[in-house]
Structure 1
Amino acid sequence: MAAAEDETSNFSEPEAHPMSGGDGPNSYANNSTLQKGAVDSAKELISKAVAEKLDTDVLLSSNTFRVADLGCSVGPNTFLSVENILEAVELKYQSQGLNSQIPEFQVFFNDHTLNDFNKLFYSLPQNRRYYAAGVPGSFYGRLFPNGSINFFHSSYALQWLSRVPKEVVDKNSPAWNKGRIHYSDSTDEVVRAYEAQHAEDMECFLNARAQEIAEGGLMVLIIPGNPNTLLHSNSMGHVTFQLIGSCLMDMARKGVVSEEEVDAYNVPLYAMTPQELEAAVERNEHFNLEKLETLPQVPIPRTVPLTQLASHVRAAFEGVIKQHFGEEILDELFDLYLKKLEDQPSILTSGTSTAINFLAVLKRKAN
């Protein structure tokens, strides 16, 4: 394990990208039903992975089964994911006639220090069958003691980078992303800067988990991304960020924000492909990739109001926008965003038809 430890030792403090807290109309708690679709789609696959890949003979040496949800945000999806995992583990024990040896469960909810943990803990299910604890910090670094976690889970979180690639906000760099806020509608140099940051982050993520996961344990990742053959410019991110970027430029022309502020702002989000995840696991060498599967597409119902879709986007992105531009521009920005959606509603269809969610099951290689 020493090699993995050395590989994470130079990791610097990441940026924080929390979802909108509280329980207001623009909160993540009230605007995460699209993400819930992926959690629901993954339930059967998680149950199957636990049944086939989880080593109960190793786990029987402890009377506590520890689960960590990385990038948990504020609920309610994290509680649903945890319940699905615990149900699968119990079924695994029962199927082997080990009803009397089902362990106690401890669940660690992890997210950035700026996450609204008060909302998270206030919302904990009253009838939960596990001991709950919060673990603040970036999952791109170490969070837990060696060999302490039996099951890692992360859903809709690994698309966030640890930071904006420094080259894209450097005026002297060929990758300077002037006038745009994302790589999806930009130059090859900008795309490569994002790709490099993503590769570095995944190396840190996998090295940290390789040290923390217990022998015989599993890791399940649910990732919103792109198909292997899709151009970056055709992704759902392109649709969203192109609209937000054009809104910010409109506001710059009106003097609400400065053009320099827009040039210095980029969204730290990368839509990886299944192939990129496969390559990251192969480079890492500490895990076997047991399963890699695209989840069934959950289309956005035509009956969903555009105002609700705009609120979903705001819940996810207002935190990183507020950190850069300040809170006072948020209402005007997302009013403009909604207006652009209403003017060209077909743009959503073109974007959502190309996006995918995929699930990966990883297992630590034997020492």
Structure 2
Amino acid sequence: MAESYPMKGGDADYSYYKNSFFQREAINTAKRLIDETIAHNLNIKDLLFGSSSSFNIADLGCSVGPNTFICIGNIIEAVKYKCQSQGLASRIPEFQVFFNDHVLNDFNTLFRSLPPESGYFAAGVPGSFHGRLFPRSSLHFIHTSTALHWLSQVPEEILEKNSPAWNKGRIFYTNASAEVCKAYATQFAKDMEIFLDARAKELVVGGIVVIMVPTIPDGISHSCESCNVLFDLLGSILMDMAKKGSLRTHGLVSEAQVDSFNLPMYIPHAKEMIELVERNRCFNIERIESYKFLSGFDTDKAL
């Protein structure tokens, strides 16, 4: 069973709602890509004359907004334009949007901030996207943005003291042993296989999946990626706190607590991501683009 790592709920100063500008930048940058993909790859006539009376969209890992609403608006706008450009303005479908995230996600904040004139039917779907969420052949468009790098669980072997992959003194795989890095990569590969298998069952024939995920440029070490370096520094700070007797005496943090905590995320190389999709064989990669952001991340979109 997948573990749950929801973002900080509410709309206070330290909430995800007010601290997700990088994710919003990625969504805004991807708008052109989504527009062109729907224009060139979506066979709207076949979908409109199919058995479904609505165009069904799922945003997986939606969190609490407002980024998910921007993304959904971009998708719907592009689908409407596609209909109009093919002389189907009178056949524009109704839109059903499913907002998915972990069961502990703050769906109350999400739906309180739902645009009043959204133009679509909205529903929340709690649960991990590392598994089935929807009936077979029920979705026309699946989107996920800056979410797939979160693992379904911390690799078990890095928490076992007798394991070669025990990640003692660290909270991430940056600068860790080869066994630790391999454990993280293996867990990510398993999660991707499950994710793709589930989406292949849920998507209609001719549907589209957009994956936006942080990646590291090929040939660059994990230890050289800026965010990975920050996570490594955070782990070092926690260990320094644990080793200071005064802090340990007051029970703020212990070495055992640091050893038991590992960040459940993995940033793959771009080539690694492509190989996982191709190995799965459920989808054809129609298009890939990479963007550089101020954080140092590459963000690849595989369509």
TM-score (norm 2): 0.95
Kindly state the Cα deviation for residue 275 of structure 1 after the two structures are TM-superposed.
Answer: 1.1
Q: Partner of 1:89: helix, strand, or coil?
A: helix
The one-letter code of the counterpart of 1:157 is: A
Q: Deviations over 1:80-125 (max 9, x none)?
A: 0000000111111111110000100000000000000000010100
| 8 Å CA contact 1:274, 1:292 repeated in 2 | no
Q: Partner of 2:284: helix, strand, or coil?
A: strand
The residue that corresponds to 2:152 in the other structure is 162
The one-letter code of the counterpart of 2:286 is: E
The residue that corresponds to 1:263 in the other structure is 259
* Unaligned runs of at least 5 residues, structure 1: 1-12, 300-351, 362-367
Q: Return the alpha-carbon distance in structure 2 between the equivalents of residues 219 and 236 of structure 1.
A: 28
Q: Deviations over 1:186-209 (max 9, x none)?
A: 111100000100110000000000
Kindly state the Cα deviation for residue 271 of structure 1 after the two structures are TM-superposed.
Answer: 0.4
The residue that corresponds to 1:250 in the other structure is 240
Runs of 4+ in 1 over 6 A off after TM superposition: none
Larger deviation: 38-47 or 242-251? 242-251
Higher helix share: 1
Kindly state the Cα deviation for residue 360 of structure 1 after the two structures are TM-superposed.
Answer: 1.0
Cα-Cα RMSD? 1.0
Query: How does 1:69-84 map onto structure 2 within 5 Å?
Result: 69-84=59-74
Q: Partner of 1:184: helix, strand, or coil?
A: coil
The residue that corresponds to 2:55 in the other structure is 65
The residue that corresponds to 2:293 in the other structure is 298
| 8 Å CA contact 1:110, 1:136 repeated in 2 | yes
The residue that corresponds to 1:190 in the other structure is 180
The residue that corresponds to 1:272 in the other structure is 268
Q: Return the alpha-carbon distance in structure 2 between the equivalents of residues 239 and 163 of structure 1.
A: 21
Task: Report the number of matched residues.
Answer: 295
The one-letter code of the counterpart of 2:302 is: A
Q: Deviations over 1:252-310 (max 9, x none)?
A: 12212110111111101100122112111111111101111102x333xxxxxxxxxxx
User: Quick check: 1:144 aligned with 2:155?
Assistant: no
Q: Deviations over 1:219-256 (max 9, x none)?
A: 00111111111101111232221122122112212212
Q: Return the alpha-carbon distance in structure 1 between the equivalents of residues 227 and 177 of structure 2.
A: 15
TM-score (norm 1): 0.79
User: Quick check: 1:51 aligned with 2:46?
Assistant: no
Q: Return the alpha-carbon distance in structure 2 between the equivalents of residues 236 and 221 of structure 1.
A: 22
Q: Return the alpha-carbon distance in structure 2 between the equivalents of residues 291 and 274 of structure 1.
A: 13
Q: Partner of 1:359: helix, strand, or coil?
A: strand
Q: Return the alpha-carbon distance in structure 2 between the equivalents of residues 231 and 246 of structure 1.
A: 19
* Unaligned runs of at least 5 residues, structure 2: none
Q: Return the alpha-carbon distance in structure 2 between the equivalents of residues 189 and 17 of structure 1.
A: 24
Q: Return the alpha-carbon distance in structure 1 between the equivalents of residues 230 and 17 of structure 2.
A: 20
Greater relative CO (CA pairs within 8 A, separation 6+): 1
Q: Return the alpha-carbon distance in structure 1 between the equivalents of residues 114 and 198 of structure 2.
A: 27
Q: Deviations over 1:43-95 (max 9, x none)?
A: 00000000011111321123200000000000010000000000111111111
| 8 Å CA contact 1:140, 1:201 repeated in 2 | yes
Kindly state the Cα deviation for residue 152 of structure 1 after the two structures are TM-superposed.
Answer: 0.2
The residue that corresponds to 1:284 in the other structure is 280
Query: How does 1:1-367 map onto structure 2 within 5 Å?
Result: 13-60=1-48, 61=50, 62-253=52-243, 254-255=247-248, 256-295=252-291, 297-299=292-294, 352-353=295-296, 355-361=297-303
Q: Partner of 1:289: helix, strand, or coil?
A: coil
Instruction: Name the % identity.
Output: 53
Q: Partner of 2:174: helix, strand, or coil?
A: helix
Q: Return the alpha-carbon distance in structure 1 between the equivalents of residues 157 and 53 of structure 2.
A: 49
Q: Return the alpha-carbon distance in structure 1 between the equivalents of residues 283 and 191 of structure 2.
A: 16
Q: Return the alpha-carbon distance in structure 2 between the equivalents of residues 120 and 185 of structure 1.
A: 37
